Structure 1
């Protein structure tokens, strides 16, 4: 009998703890990119069928596409497309000095 009470009490405690961890408000992202292949820039690996969530201009999550549904202001279908986070144009020319100043004045 004591074992049943203990078992029942632990089960109820586990269920309550699980409910406490669940979010009460659904987060609405600015952009959700569904079913995209993400290029992991650290490992060079391709991660197919991912969901990328963006809020306030920043990537806030990358998860497998089959996990959950997401609320968003804009959805992008990334099927057959690739996403490379953190890539931007860093093209510069290191030469010139005075000649570069003169060339820029002509342009």
Structure 2
């Protein structure tokens, strides 16, 4: 399993483009992507957003990005990424493609 955690700010004047991202990505993710285990966005008091995505594996992330490419373009142009952290094992290609500077591989856990 891989968790993607990132925070960002919507650029001033780009709120409609950000909404286009939400309108394109959420319906596809919810209805057509069972390998996306979770997709949550939180809005902070300071106007920033924190997003948590959970995937079966790295391949699931690549499929998600491909299926939601139009919405991802809207996100990229409307949001300023502040942090980007991956929990789980990902390839160097993945890190380079998505600009991941911090990732954590499993160490110890308790699951229920």
| Structure 1 and Structure 2 fold alike (TM over 0.5) | no
Instruction: Give the TM-score normalised by structure 1.
Output: 0.21
Bigger share in helix: 2
Point out the structure with max Rg over C-alpha. Answer: 1
